[in-house]
Structure 1
Amino acid sequence: MALQNSGNTVFLTEQEANRIRITVQNRSKKCSDLQGTTRESRDFKTAKSQATGASLMADMGGAREDTLPALAVGQPYLPCTSSLEDLEPMALADLKLETHHRGRRMTVKRTCPVVVLAGTSWTMVQDDASETERLEIVLHKTRFGQDVLESAKQFVIKEPYFTVTDQDEPTIRIDHPSDLVVSMEDLTKSGLNLNFEVNGNADDSAAAEAMAKKCKEKGNKALKSQELQLAHAHYSEGLKIARQEIVVKSNPDLGRDISRNRAHVNLLLQQFDEAKADAEAALIGNQDTRSKELDSKAYFRAASAAYNLANYQDAKGYIGKQLELSPEDKEAKAWLRRIESRLREQDTGKYALKKTRATLSKARPRADAASFFTNTEVKDSPGRGRGLFATRDISAGQIVMVEKAFCVVWGFESEALTAMTYDVRDDQIRASAVGLAKATVQKLLNNPSQTEGVMDLYGDYEGLGKKALTINEGVMVDSFQVYDIISRNAFGPGNQYGEEGARNASTGLWIWAAYINHSCVPNAKKEYVGDLMVLRATKPIAEGEEIFHSYNESSDYEARQDAFKTTWGFECECALCVVEGAEDAAVRKKRREFVRHAEEFVAKEPWANAKKLSISRAQRLKRSIQDTYDGEKYKNLPLVGIQRIEEWLALANRRQ
């Protein structure tokens, strides 16, 4: 599908749209016809040759730069919510097509190269009976920047979903990251018995302590070489043993030491929930010099984790504890000043936005700032679900709220990915920010404490609900639920750091701002400072009044309504849309033509040092558009068609 040179807009020909639609519909019919069919055995040599050839082709070519991956959405299923020990083993020979094998698990080994594509990764795997099958991860195929299938040789698949691809190829499909468990032993290559337990005698206690120390040493070595995931795995092995009661009795500091080290690794992996818990578990509490030094380090790591979770009051408490132990620590004092700046922003809404903007660049695109919500609250909005309301009178031009993005993916980052999605629920084809959905899932896997805030947002699929669910193998995130939430609540922070297109448009999720409802006659307008959204009142807002901003500022009535229906699932009935919708279609068409000429003029004619002739032409264009509006009907309504040419004239006249 070719991309047109029109900013972030994707144009599909009717043939391209139909091709996507028919491909998905054909697969759905094929799956329905095959449901419950017994799997056919594969020839290993043929399967290996297929995977090897496809991997080479992917390495040589990859995805074409002028195409977007196409994905089907709207056919969700829940991730497995059972622990491995509660699932019954099964073999590849037991698989049935188009079946979710609930209550079962399967252990497989990778036997072929991994085929890495834009939206998926796949390979061939075997079980103990030497049966061979295709294993595919859709979209959520990386963890800590590494392809999951390439990270290990052995996997456990929870409640395998056996289906077919768009090309009718049988495959075990993984949509939820938690449904594929990487073998810890395979990852660490340690050969240690992870179920090692001591029975209380001295020999077992000494052996367990030696084993935990060996894990710690291996973790330290991996950390030194910046193999962070490996270091985390080794430390986790060591902690499992060091926290057994008899080891704690013989060497209570061993578990604390490993926890302190893992806290550091977790900070680097951005697993801040676990980093904070590890730092707290590392605390000794003794008053000797060495204990104070170690506790000072632990408090600093806890403060860093709390800061990155935007828990600034907790961060201040941890740094305060560190300074009690190390009063002259310059780094701790600097961190305290930094934390106090965030608390002031959070409490007062006062920001040094110019200074913040000056610190941002492509190398550092995310602002170091807190969110400010004091002026607003979330309440029910009649006919609109929930909305954001003012808790006090707000003057025109005053800050309504400021929000640091929960997650943002910039267009120049490797995580940026746009896909064409066909939603079987409403027969709509959309350009979707699947890269942001991937990044959001990863962030929730890293920090389950933040799950409820994201999952409380509106989506079309309830999934696992709002609460984070954790089992022995870790946290579960319903990727379909996150996708629906992103589709309805994401924003584009604009082109702040270089050229962007449809393939790599910057997108982000601002949780508090997602509650703001739309109006084409808004009372607030947003701007961005990096990933910081600043919302200002465009007119006085009274206490208790609902806050609105515009989701789409197009002057084209038909284009706006189509965008509202396609992207957000509603039809706008604001005062402006009611008046525009009642106009003769010929009037709107005439206005569109004049607006198009005005936009072409603004794009070609720089306002700086504009000649009188250019200013006169701009004034004529403004009058032409203005004449298409009925003065009486549009009284007290914005004339959105003239806004861009008005802005140009204001800038040009200022230079005269």
Structure 2
Amino acid sequence: MASQNERNTIFLTEQEAERIRHTVKERSKNCLEKVGHAREPRDQLAAHQQATGAALMADMGGAPDPDMTHTKGRGDTIPVVAVGQPYPPCTVSLEDLQPMKMADLLMDTHHRGRKLTIKRSSPVVTLVARSWTMVQDEELKETERLEMCLHKSRHDEDVLESAKHFIIKEPYFTLTDQGEATIRIDHPSDLVVYQEEAHGKTQVEDSAAAEKLATKYKTQGNAALKKQDLPLAHAKYTEGLNVAKQPLLSDSNPDLARDISRNRAYVNLLLNQLDEVKTDARASLTGKDDQRSKDLDSKAFYRAGSAAYSQGRYQEAKRFFEEQQKLTPDDKDAKVQLKKIASRLREQDSGTYDFMKISTGLSKGRPRVDAATFIKNTEIKDSAGRGRGLYATRSIAPGEIVMCEKAFCVVWGHESEALTAMTYDVRDDKIRVSPVGLGKSIVQKLLSNPSQIESVMDLYGDYEGDGKAVSETEEGAVVDVFRVHDIMSRNAFGPGSQHGEEGARNASTGLWIHAAYINHSCIANAEKEYIGDLMILRAARPIQAGEEIFHSYDESQDYDARKAALMTTWGFECSCAFCAAEKADGRAVRDKRMELVGEADAFVEKTPWAGAKRLTIRKAQRLAQSIDETYDGERYKDLPRTAGGRIQEWLAKASPRK
């Protein structure tokens, strides 16, 4: 069994670190040398054989994954992702892009204002951090490599395997880390599955033909839903709606479009595409007074209410369920939901929670709480030298709740979405351990719910994008994955190991949007704890109205380790009074203090406090006193002396034998 230290640490050898740096820098150098060079044609047969062989080897696990690097610790390899070379996603709809040919691709070029229609011509090679395949142009004359990096899945299905035909928005033609030419997709919204509606809606000659075609799509959608093929069901219902909404049919048979919208609302609910649930549910309403129509409208209101509830929009959810109850007063589901909403609104308004009930309802299979966010005690304002911060709107007593926030997105270490990678950032030449699985989950949630993009993108990140506030085009949501990565890197926190053993390779991580505005201080006035994905922030001392709220990003007692962690992970150096005092101590004093802390911690680990003898207690007292003596009395007059915390706790509990 691995030691705790081994579980929490990934050891990267100097050789592997150098290999990562060399690979990324060599690619950048090669790309720079070939910028604007004309594409060299590929041999179609050789390209197909290359992809087929690689896919077979990948499926069998017989080929090395070029994205993986060898490390020490639990497991042998971990994926490597290069970051720090961002570019914005396409923010233009397909109809506003000009077509181009594969033969016109230029090396290491973003073909802005253009689109490329392609057909997949080989199996997909599925790797941990990317998938790739060979594709052909519309005339089937040219063949090229296409790869999707990191964000390569949608609804648990590999995007490249989900269809045969695609349209690439503003293609980026470049080199792989191995020096091979490729069309590269980083932003999921830059790759559009080819559908008929992408080039104009299907036109039919008369209402009878339109009704037949729309009904056919509806039937296909129902069949796919029965098989739980949700993406296919959604696609078929969408095709059906594009026909059913045409004037010649919508005028003669408006109920068909309503029926398909109602069905798609249900599929969207299962896919967690909550914005679209509400849009479809509203579109499906009949407004008729007969009982069958009331039942159908009741169903639509239930689906819309469920979506609003899942988004934490409880007042909106309440309105939907109240409308449902008006139509079907005896419906028990609406009554249950309204009762739950009343609890959520009470939590949201007063910060009153039944933490015991919330805690007992959690398990490894159900690790997310059903609770509202309470932030009425706080507001976001500018913070001098820190950007923005969170401030108290009223006085808060020690131990009182400052705020409670349900995570916008959390990935637990035991879940399949958890993925840790080594990221090499060319901006500062640093290699970091990064929870890229959380970044992928955030991107997926934003793609499904464009209304939430703005709140996430408003958070601080090193890369701020191109300044275009475009979150949707005709083809769907637009999410800048590079901004998401940087925002996640600076704002995510770990809720701790709540559901089993965790380590550096499978640590639970999450993003709490409101809490992300809280700045750091080593002498914080607030402390956080977690129940599931609910962050609870309590006042550690009296907080006055208008005072900025701080909590500690890193609670290491080692000043040098803490300083390095804050700079590496969050990109700043703490200038609080406590750090200033420790800095003034000098390295020798700090080293002596940490040596004593090590002795004290070892003592606490092996020595039970219950029934401790007087001699043992005196030894503990001497250790505590030695630690305390490393603090300059004048310098630390009004500051905490945290290094002796564990030994002081032991002494407070210890009692000598009679």
How far apart, CA to CA, are the structure 1 residues paired with 2:484 and 2:616? 49
1:57-90 deviation per Cα after TM superposition (whole angstroms, max 9, x unaligned): 3223376733221111111111112222222222
Q: Which residue of 2 aligns with 1:35?
A: 35
Contact 2:91 2:470 in 1 (8 A): no
User: Shift of the alpha carbon at 1:353?
Assistant: 0.9
Count of residues paired in the alignment: 646
User: Shift of the alpha carbon at 1:38?
Assistant: 1.5
How far apart, CA to CA, are the structure 2 residues paired with 1:558 and 1:196? 65
User: Percent of aligned positions with the same letter in both sequences?
Assistant: 65
Q: Check if 1:76 corresponds to 2:78.
A: no
Correspondence for 1:160 among 135, 148, 171: 171
Matches for 1:370-449 after TM superposition, within 5 Å: 370-449=372-451
Look up the equivalent residue of 2:497 and give its one-letter code.
Answer: N
Contact 2:309 2:317 in 1 (8 A): yes
Secondary structure, aligned partner of 2:472: strand
Q: Which residue of 1 aligns with 2:221?
A: 219
1:130-158 deviation per Cα after TM superposition (whole angstroms, max 9, x unaligned): 32211111110000011111111111111
Correspondence for 2:146 among 111, 116, 135: 135
- Cα–Cα, structure 1 residues 547 and 111, in superposed 2: closer, same or farther, change >3 Å? same
Contact 2:613 2:657 in 1 (8 A): no
- Cα–Cα, structure 1 residues 228 and 655, in superposed 2: closer, same or farther, change >3 Å? farther
Matches for 1:92-491 after TM superposition, within 5 Å: 92-127=102-137, 128-184=139-195, 195-198=201-204, 204-463=206-465, 465=467, 467-491=469-493
User: Shift of the alpha carbon at 1:329?
Assistant: 1.2
Contact 1:158 1:180 in 2 (8 A): yes
Look up the equivalent residue of 1:40 and give its one-letter code.
Answer: E
How far apart, CA to CA, are the structure 2 residues paired with 1:137 and 1:158? 13
Look up the equivalent residue of 1:52 and give its one-letter code.
Answer: T
1:298-345 deviation per Cα after TM superposition (whole angstroms, max 9, x unaligned): 110110010011110010111111111111211111111111110000
How far apart, CA to CA, are the structure 2 residues paired with 1:443 and 1:654? 57
1:178-197 deviation per Cα after TM superposition (whole angstroms, max 9, x unaligned): 11111236xxxxx9996223
1:422-467 deviation per Cα after TM superposition (whole angstroms, max 9, x unaligned): 1111222211121111111110100000111101101112225484
1:330-385 deviation per Cα after TM superposition (whole angstroms, max 9, x unaligned): 11111111111100000000101111111111100000000000000000111111
Contact 1:455 1:466 in 2 (8 A): no
Secondary structure, aligned partner of 2:394: coil
How far apart, CA to CA, are the structure 2 residues paired with 1:655 and 1:551? 41
Secondary structure, aligned partner of 1:68: strand
Contact 2:460 2:490 in 1 (8 A): yes
User: Shift of the alpha carbon at 1:96?
Assistant: 1.5
Look up the equivalent residue of 1:343 and give its one-letter code.
Answer: L
How far apart, CA to CA, are the structure 2 residues paired with 1:485 and 1:193? 35
- Cα–Cα, structure 1 residues 91 and 644, in superposed 2: closer, same or farther, change >3 Å? farther
Q: Which residue of 2 aligns with 1:188?
A: none
Q: Give unmatched runs, 5+ long, in structure 1.
A: 186-190
Query: What TM-score do the two structures reach when normalised by structure 1?
Result: 0.94
Look up the equivalent residue of 2:13 and give its one-letter code.
Answer: T
How far apart, CA to CA, are the structure 2 residues paired with 1:363 and 1:608? 37
Secondary structure, aligned partner of 1:149: helix
User: Shift of the alpha carbon at 1:13?
Assistant: 3.4
How far apart, CA to CA, are the structure 1 residues paired with 2:602 and 2:334? 54
How far apart, CA to CA, are the structure 1 residues paired with 2:616 and 2:369? 39
- Cα–Cα, structure 1 residues 315 and 401, in superposed 2: closer, same or farther, change >3 Å? same
How far apart, CA to CA, are the structure 1 residues paired with 2:607 and 2:250? 75
User: Shift of the alpha carbon at 1:616?
Assistant: 5.8
Range with bigger deviation, 89-98 or 23-32: 89-98
Correspondence for 1:566 among 561, 565, 568: 568
- Cα–Cα, structure 1 residues 56 and 37, in superposed 2: closer, same or farther, change >3 Å? same
Secondary structure, aligned partner of 2:78: coil
Q: Check if 1:496 corresponds to 2:506.
A: no
How far apart, CA to CA, are the structure 2 residues paired with 1:608 and 1:113? 65
How far apart, CA to CA, are the structure 2 residues paired with 1:177 and 1:405? 24
Range with bigger deviation, 368-377 or 11-20: 11-20
Contact 2:610 2:655 in 1 (8 A): no
Range with bigger deviation, 30-39 or 645-654: 645-654
Query: What TM-score do the two structures reach when normalised by structure 2?
Result: 0.94
Give RMSD over aligned pairs.
2.4
User: Shift of the alpha carbon at 1:620?
Assistant: 4.4
Contact 1:163 1:171 in 2 (8 A): yes
Look up the equivalent residue of 1:42 and give its one-letter code.
Answer: R
User: Shift of the alpha carbon at 1:216?
Assistant: 1.0
1:46-67 deviation per Cα after TM superposition (whole angstroms, max 9, x unaligned): 2223223322332233767332
Q: Which residue of 1 aligns with 2:553?
A: 551
Range with bigger deviation, 459-468 or 623-632: 459-468
Contact 1:405 1:508 in 2 (8 A): yes
Contact 2:613 2:655 in 1 (8 A): no
How far apart, CA to CA, are the structure 1 residues paired with 2:657 and 2:430? 47
- Cα–Cα, structure 1 residues 217 and 250, in superposed 2: closer, same or farther, change >3 Å? same
User: Shift of the alpha carbon at 1:650?
Assistant: 4.7
User: Shift of the alpha carbon at 1:599?
Assistant: 3.7
How far apart, CA to CA, are the structure 1 residues paired with 2:293 and 2:344? 30
How far apart, CA to CA, are the structure 2 residues paired with 1:14 and 1:160? 36
Contact 1:123 1:134 in 2 (8 A): yes
Contact 1:415 1:439 in 2 (8 A): yes
User: Shift of the alpha carbon at 1:619?
Assistant: 4.4
- Cα–Cα, structure 1 residues 626 and 471, in superposed 2: closer, same or farther, change >3 Å? same
Contact 1:441 1:482 in 2 (8 A): yes
How far apart, CA to CA, are the structure 2 residues paired with 1:205 and 1:655? 94
User: Shift of the alpha carbon at 1:3?
Assistant: 12
How far apart, CA to CA, are the structure 2 residues paired with 1:602 and 1:48? 64
Secondary structure, aligned partner of 1:69: strand
User: Shift of the alpha carbon at 1:605?
Assistant: 5.7
Contact 1:3 1:10 in 2 (8 A): no
User: Shift of the alpha carbon at 1:167?
Assistant: 1.0
How far apart, CA to CA, are the structure 1 residues paired with 2:150 and 2:22? 21
Q: Give unmatched runs, 5+ long, in structure 2.
A: none
How far apart, CA to CA, are the structure 2 residues paired with 1:151 and 1:296? 34
- Cα–Cα, structure 1 residues 608 and 170, in superposed 2: closer, same or farther, change >3 Å? farther
Look up the equivalent residue of 2:151 and give its one-letter code.
Answer: H
How far apart, CA to CA, are the structure 1 residues paired with 2:281 and 2:175? 46
- Cα–Cα, structure 1 residues 56 and 606, in superposed 2: closer, same or farther, change >3 Å? farther
Look up the equivalent residue of 1:435 and give its one-letter code.
Answer: G
Contact 1:3 1:66 in 2 (8 A): no
Contact 1:448 1:468 in 2 (8 A): no
- Cα–Cα, structure 1 residues 225 and 38, in superposed 2: closer, same or farther, change >3 Å? same
How far apart, CA to CA, are the structure 2 residues paired with 1:427 and 1:459? 17
How far apart, CA to CA, are the structure 1 residues paired with 2:657 and 2:403? 33
How far apart, CA to CA, are the structure 1 residues paired with 2:623 and 2:633? 17
How far apart, CA to CA, are the structure 2 residues paired with 1:343 and 1:301? 20
- Cα–Cα, structure 1 residues 256 and 566, in superposed 2: closer, same or farther, change >3 Å? same
